[in-house]
Amino acid sequence: MTKMSDRLHYAYSCDMDQPLQVKIGSLEGKFEKPDYETILKDPSLQYCITIQQQNKSQSIGDGVGSMGSSFSPNDSLCYDLSVECVIFSDFRRRPATITTSFKAFSTRLNWNEWLTLPICYNELSRDARLAFTIYDVHDKLEKHVIGGTSIDLFSKRGVFRRGMYDLKVWPFVQGDGANVPSTTPGKSLFDANSKCLMPRLTKLGKKHRAGMMNKVDWLDRLTFREIEMVNEREKRQSNGLYLNVEFPYVHHENVEHLIVYFEPNADQYTYFQPNPSLITAPDPEMGLDNLVEAKHHLLARSSRIAALRFVYCVNWDLPNEVQQAVRLLEDWSPVDVDAALELLSAKFTHKAVRRYAVTRLNQADDEDLLLYLPQLVQALKYEDAMQILSGADTSFVQELTVLSDKSSRAELNDNSLLKQVENEFSSDKSDQLSHRPSVASSHQSIEDENKEHPTTDKSDEMDLATFLISRACKDPTIANYLYWYVKVECDSGVQSGSPLGEISASSPTHHQRKPSGNVNVVPVSRETGANNVRIMYTAVLSRLSKALAKGGIEAKRRRNQLLLQQRFVNKLAKVSCAMVKESGNRKKKIEFLQHLLTDNQHDDLINFLNLDSLPLPLDPSVKISSILPEKASVFNSANMPCKLVFRCVDGREYTTIFKHGDDLRQDQLIVQIITLMDKCLREENLDLKLTPYRVLATSTTQGFVQFIDSQPLRDLLHDWNTIQEFFKNYGSDANGPFGIQAEIMDNYVKSCAGYAVISYLLGIGDRHQHNLLLCRNGKLFHIDFGYILGRDPKPLPPPMKITKEMIEGMGGFSSPLFQEFRTLCYTGFLHLRRHANLFLNLFALMVDASIPDIALEPDKAVRKVQERFLLHLSEEEAVKAMQQLIDDSISARMAAFVDMMHDVAQYLRA
Residue 426 has pLDDT above 80, yes or no: no
**Could you tell me the sign of the dihedral formed by the alpha carbons of 169, 170, 176, 182, in that order?**
negative
The answer to whether 488 touches 665, Cβ cutoff 8 Å, is yes
The answer to whether 478 touches 369, Cβ cutoff 8 Å, is yes
End-to-end CA distance of the chain: 110
User: In Å, how far from its chain's centre is CA 816?
Assistant: 47
Domains of the chain, by residue range, sit at 12-187+240-260, 303-364, 382-562, 582-660, 711-909
Helix (H, G, I), strand (E, B) or coil at 721: coil
Q: Measured between alpha carbons, how far is 811 from 628 in angstroms, rounded to an integer?
A: 42
User: In Å, how far from its chain's centre is CA 834?
Assistant: 23
Nearest to 420 by CA among 500, 502, 534: 534
Nearest to 838 by CA among 717, 677, 714: 677
144 or 161, which is more confident? Answer: 161
Supply the pLDDT for residue 717.
92
Which 8-state DSSP code applies to residue 15? G
Supply the pLDDT for residue 570.
93
Residue 521: which pLDDT band, with cuts at 50, 70 and 90? very low
The pLDDT of 18-38, averaged and rounded, is 82
Per-residue pLDDT tens digits for 824-851? 999 999 999 999 999 999 999 999 988 9
Q: Measured between alpha carbons, how far is 17 from 471 in angstroms, rounded to an integer?
A: 68
Supply the pLDDT for residue 91.
78
Write b or e for each residue in 722-756: b if 16 or more Cβ atoms lie within 10 A of its Cβ, otherwise e: ebbebbbeebebeebbeebbeebbbbbbbbbbbbb
Q: Measured between alpha carbons, how far is 172 from 45 in angstroms, rounded to an integer?
A: 9
Write b or e for each residue in 92-101: b if 16 or more Cβ atoms lie within 10 A of its Cβ, otherwise e: eebeeeeebe
Alpha helices in 445-604 (DSSP H): 446-452, 464-474, 476-492, 529-549, 553-581, 586-598
Which 8-state DSSP code applies to residue 183? S
What are the CA-CA distances from residue 248 to residues 211, 245, 420, 465, 872 (Å)?
A: 17, 10, 77, 67, 52
What are the CA-CA distances from residue 26 to residues 23, 110, 167, 242, 342 (Å)?
A: 10, 4, 11, 8, 57
CATH number listed for the domain at residues 12-187+240-260 = 2.60.40.150
Per-residue pLDDT tens digits for 262-295? 888 777 777 766 776 776 777 777 778 888 888 8
Alpha helices in 42-185 (DSSP H): 49-60
Environment class of residue 874 by beta-carbon count within 10 Å: exposed (0-12), middle (13-18) or buried (19+)? Answer: exposed
665-683 and 742-761 are packed helices; what angle lies between their axes, rounded to 10 degrees? 120
Helix (H, G, I), strand (E, B) or coil at 26: strand
Peptide bond connecting 858 to the previous residue in cis, omega within 30 degrees of 0: no
Parallel/antiparallel/unpaired status of strands 10-12 and 255-260: parallel
Residue 442: which pLDDT band, with cuts at 50, 70 and 90? very low
Residue 493: which pLDDT band, with cuts at 50, 70 and 90? low
Q: Measured between alpha carbons, how far is 896 from 886 in angstroms, rounded to an integer?
A: 15
At 419, give phi and psi (nearest 5°).
Answer: -65, -35
Could you tell me which residues come within 8 angstroms of residue 840 by beta carbon, excluding any fewer than 6 positions away? Answer: 862, 865, 866
Looking at residue 602, its amino acid is H
Per-residue pLDDT tens digits for 526-570? 445 567 888 889 999 999 999 998 888 888 899 999 999 999 999
Q: Measured between alpha carbons, how far is 762 from 757 in angstroms, rounded to an integer?
A: 9
Supply the pLDDT for residue 448.
40
If one counts every other C-beta atom within 10 angstroms of the C-beta of residue 65, the result is: 16
Q: Measured between alpha carbons, how far is 593 from 575 in angstroms, rounded to an integer?
A: 7
Per-residue pLDDT tens digits for 315-354? 888 888 888 888 888 888 888 888 899 999 988 888 889 9
* Backbone angle region of 665, left / alpha / beta, with phi > 0 → left and psi within -120 to 50 → alpha: alpha
Residue 102: which pLDDT band, with cuts at 50, 70 and 90? confident
Q: What is the dihedral of CA 596, 598, 599, 605, to 10 degrees?
A: 110
The pLDDT of 639-660, averaged and rounded, is 94
Residue 885: which pLDDT band, with cuts at 50, 70 and 90? very high
Supply the pLDDT for residue 648.
95
Residue 58 has pLDDT above 50, yes or no: no
Parallel/antiparallel/unpaired status of strands 780-782 and 70-71: unpaired
897 or 702, which is more confident? Answer: 702
Q: Measured between alpha carbons, how far is 843 from 854 in angstroms, rounded to an integer?
A: 9
Q: Measured between alpha carbons, how far is 238 from 230 in angstroms, rounded to an integer?
A: 12
Nearest to 740 by CA among 819, 749, 710, 691: 749
How many residues does the structure list for the chain? 910
Nearest to 240 by CA among 28, 30, 27: 30
Residue 618 has pLDDT above 90, yes or no: yes
**Could you tell me the sign of the dihedral formed by the alpha carbons of 401, 403, 406, 410, in that order?**
negative
Q: Measured between alpha carbons, how far is 487 from 479 in angstroms, rounded to an integer?
A: 12
881 or 450, which is more confident? Answer: 881
Best CATH choice for the domain 582-660 from the list 1.10.10.1110, 3.40.50.300, 1.10.10.10, 3.30.1010.10: 3.30.1010.10
With residue 877 as reference, give the H or E element that holds it.
helix 875-890
Strand partners for 32: 70
At 873, give phi and psi (nearest 5°).
Answer: -105, 155
The answer to whether 603 touches 610, Cβ cutoff 8 Å, is no
Residue 499 has pLDDT above 70, yes or no: no
Supply the pLDDT for residue 604.
63
* Average pLDDT of the chain, as a whole number: 80
At 890, give phi and psi (nearest 5°).
Answer: -70, -40
Strand partners for 114: 23
Supply the pLDDT for residue 237.
65
Supply the pLDDT for residue 9.
87
Supply the pLDDT for residue 907.
59
Per-residue pLDDT tens digits for 118-151? 899 998 999 999 999 998 876 566 788 889 999 9
DSSP characters over 614-644 = EEETTEEEEEEEEE-GGG-EE-SSSS-PEEE
Nearest to 535 by CA among 666, 446, 404, 630: 404
What are the CA-CA distances from residue 17 to residues 131, 162, 474 (Å)?
A: 22, 17, 73
Looking at residue 901, its amino acid is M
Residue 634 has pLDDT above 70, yes or no: yes
Tell me the three-class secondary structure of 583-617, residue by residue: CCCHHHHHHHHHHHHHCCCCCCCCCCCCCCCEEEC
Parallel/antiparallel/unpaired status of strands 614-616 and 31-32: unpaired
If one counts every other C-beta atom within 10 angstroms of the C-beta of residue 189, the result is: 8
Q: What is the dihedral of CA 889, 892, 897, 901, to 10 degrees?
A: -30
Supply the pLDDT for residue 842.
95
Alpha helices in 99-253 (DSSP H): 198-209, 217-238
Residue 517: which pLDDT band, with cuts at 50, 70 and 90? very low
Q: Measured between alpha carbons, how far is 850 from 744 in angstroms, rounded to an integer?
A: 40
Supply the pLDDT for residue 818.
96
Q: Measured between alpha carbons, how far is 867 from 878 in angstroms, rounded to an integer?
A: 12
Q: Measured between alpha carbons, how far is 8 from 628 in angstroms, rounded to an integer?
A: 109
Residue 435: which pLDDT band, with cuts at 50, 70 and 90? very low
Which of 317-326, 418-427, 637-646, 704-713 reaches the highest mean pLDDT? Answer: 704-713
Best CATH choice for the domain 711-909 from the list 3.40.710.10, 1.10.260.40, 1.10.1070.11, 1.10.645.10: 1.10.1070.11
Environment class of residue 602 by beta-carbon count within 10 Å: exposed (0-12), middle (13-18) or buried (19+)? Answer: exposed
Q: Measured between alpha carbons, how far is 263 from 248 in angstroms, rounded to an integer?
A: 22
Looking at residue 569, its amino acid is V
For the chain, what percent of residues have pLDDT higher than 70? 77
The answer to whether 384 touches 351, Cβ cutoff 8 Å, is yes
Nearest to 642 by CA among 602, 590, 711: 590
